[in-house]
Structure 1
Amino acid sequence: MFTSVDHEKFRALRITHVATRFEELIKDEANDDATPEELFLTAVDEALELRRSSRIEKLIRQAGFPLPEATVAEIAYPPGRGITPVRMKRYANHDWRADPTNLLIISPTGGGKTYLACAVGVAACHNEHTVHYTRMDELARRLVIARGDGIGHQTMLNKLSDVDLLIIDDFLTVGIDPNAASDLFSILANRDHRLPTIIVSQSGPAYWVEALPDKVAADSTVNRLANQSRTLNLGEIDMRRLRNQEAKATTGYWE
């Protein structure tokens, strides 16, 4: 139906997929009762969905999740974990750009914090938000190294300040360099009342104040995080142990 010249025009207009799909639909005898207009709109809808899927895949890839397959649908809710399907559905559908409220995810090691944070972050990508995931120790190391390049350092600070949703895992699990702590303060100050941050930690705000090297900056940093936030306290359940016990109970398990 379309000539090679036509396809060159489609490529110039960046509607190759629409044209190709429209041609396929026209040739399909199952669509004989549909009007050309209906088939064209179907091709357009499919092209838009394909582009959206590609954007989401790119957002997830660029976010740097350690668990990019994490999903809110697979979160477990054993008694005492402190979360519910309804609450997590709200986070999965949340408009992070419209609400700068931070989220603190707190539990001892093994509580499933990282999976939950990744699941929320992946859901944010599906809602077409930009997300950046990092561990605190990795972030601190990158900030210190970046200080050797003034332009690169500022570019990094700007990126972390402007991403729709910043996720910092293992927050202050280990000590932090004073220069990195200063950069952290700058990032969080730039995001304050503008964009949300998810903090994933084994400890709470009282410990963070003591762990940061500069006490004045520490008070301000923690105040920005904690006083405009929601908290998911996952309790004392060890999800790693629970998953291991479930695996042992399945048919065919061996060790």
Structure 2
Amino acid sequence: MFTEIDHQKFRNLRITHVATRFEELISDEANDELTPEQIFLTAVDDALDQRQAHRIDKLIRAAKFPIPQASIAEINYQEGRGITPVRMKRYAGHNWRQDPTNLLVLSPTGGGKTYLACAIGIAACQNGHTVTYARMDELARRLVIARGDGIRHQKMLNDLSDVELLIIDDFLTVGIDPEAANDLFAVLANREHRLPTMIASQSRPAYWLEALPDRVAADSIVNRLANNAREINLGEVDMRRQRDDQARATTGYWE
């Protein structure tokens, strides 16, 4: 068994997970037939898997998804939603670093946009991508608050500009002020041709042009978001109502 001095050596080498797993494996009688080399390599593989799992968990926490358990495997593909398992499998394995094409997820309220956006974003984290999720109204509010501190404000703009996948949900469900629109323009201009942005909205680009406070900025923002973007149109299926109806039908439900 390893001594405390041995463990300190492993800590200095930053391979404590390998050492811990190796000690567990050699203590297991089920591994008596394995060679030391086989046990060591198994410990290395297990430690790498653990490190990868921790990195994925960290990426998911940092993204701040409102539905952190969302999964592409659990998406409802009923008729009328405009999505298929094959198409979503492509998004699950997509390399967002290499393809800066934006993605628009569109449907009326209750269509499941947020769940879908979270599921795609979580799949991106599982592939090692950095992701930031934000609701448009909350993002605008954070930008307004940060504007009082020039350094903090610039750091926020830089972070939004450089994250590998930026997800903005509830896009223009409520209006934003001109300064927030200017910040949005700066972020999108910095991301253009470099990194993709996902927009989830219950309205289409034609409405965004009318809703943004400055027409010139609106043209630039919508042009950067919508030109050559991929689009998922979830149709008119109200997933929220279906979920609520299913809940009412379960045993023990009362209101």
**1:36-51 equivalence runs, <5 A:** 36-51=36-51
TM-score by length of 1: 0.97
Q: By how many angstroms is 1:228 displaced? A: 2.5
The SS at the match of 2:155 is helix
Stretch moving more, 190-199 or 85-94: 85-94
Match of 1:80 in 2: 80
1:171 is displaced (CA, Å) by: 0.4
What amino acid is aligned across from residue 160 of structure 1 in structure 2? L
Query: Is residue 93 from structure 1 mapped to residue 89 from structure 2 by the alignment?
Result: no
Post-superposition offset of 1:252: 4.7
* CA–CA distance in structure 1, aligned partners of residues 155 and 228 of structure 2: 26
Q: Is the deviation greater in 3-12 or in 181-190?
A: 3-12
| Counterpart position of 2:208 | 208
Greater CA drift, 31-40 or 244-253: 244-253
Q: Which position in structure 2 is the counterpart of 1:105?
A: 105
Distance in 2 (CA, whole Å) between partners of 1:160 and 1:128 is 17
Q: Deviations over 1:100-143 (max 9, x none)?
A: 01000000000010011011111111111100000101111111
Code of the aligned partner of 1:86: V
TM-superposed deviation, 1:63: 0.4
Structure 1 SS opposite 2:73 = helix
Q: Which residue of 2 aligns with 1:198?
A: 198
Q: 1:1-255 maps to which residues of 2 (within 5 A)?
A: 1-255=1-255
Q: How many angstroms apart in 1 are the aligned matches of 2:86 and 2:247?
A: 27
User: Within 1, Cα distance between the matches of 2:37 and 2:169?
Assistant: 50
RMSD of aligned residue pairs (Cα, Å): 1.1
Report percent identity of matched pairs.
76
SS at match of 1:236: coil
Deviation per CA, 1:222-253, whole angstroms, max 9, x where unpaired? Answer: 01110131000111110011112233344554
Give TM-score, length-normalised by structure 2. Answer: 0.97
Amino acid at match of 1:60: I
Q: Which sections of structure 2, spanning at least 5 residues, go unmatched?
A: none
Unaligned runs of 5+ in 1: none
How many Å separate the matches in 1 of 2:232 and 2:133?
A: 18
Deviations 1:47-99 (A, max 9, x none): 01111111111111110111111111111011111111111111111111111
Give CA deviations for 1:27-46 in whole Å, capped at 9, x if unaligned.
22211111100100000001
Once the 2 structures are TM-superposed, how far is the Cα of residue 215 of structure 1 from its aligned partner?
0.7
Following TM superposition, the consecutive aligned residue runs of length 4 or more in structure 1 with deviations greater than 6 angstroms are: none
Count of aligned pairs: 255
**Aligned residue type for 2:146:** A
Distance 2:145 2:22 in 1: 52
